[in-house]
Amino acid sequence: MLFLITLYDGLEFTMTMNVNLSPQLHEMVRQKVASGLYTSASEVVREALRLMEQQDCIRAAKLDQLRHDICDGINSGEATLWDPEEIKQEGRKIRAARANATKTI
């Protein structure tokens, strides 16, 4: 399916663009317009592009945070060895102490 979409920036004309959609996407656009939520195929496409831009911003922020966290980890000092069994034993001691504390109440 081929759509002719006129894009506007506020009240100013920006460009007209031809967009080829798969049958599945064409049906999705048709359903959105038929639902009354959108008044035209162009409106559906504009909303989809706004959502894609939001997702891109979120993805970029997450990537920035990941890079920051990696730098924090690198700068946190020398790595130390740890024993998972020792950590489990400590957790079991804490859990047992809590269980004993609730029994005495």
What pLDDT was estimated at residue 21? 92
pTM attached to this predicted model? 0.60
Average pLDDT value over all residues in the chain: 88
Which region, left, alpha or beta, applies to residue 36 given φ > 0 means left and ψ of -120 to 50 means alpha? left
CA distance 86 to 5: 64
Q: How confident is the model at residue 93 (pLDDT cuts 50, 70, 90)?
A: very high
Decide: residue 43, CB within 10 A, 0-12 exposed, 13-18 middle, 19+ buried. Answer: middle
pLDDT digit string, tens, across residues 47-74? 999 999 999 999 999 999 999 999 999 9
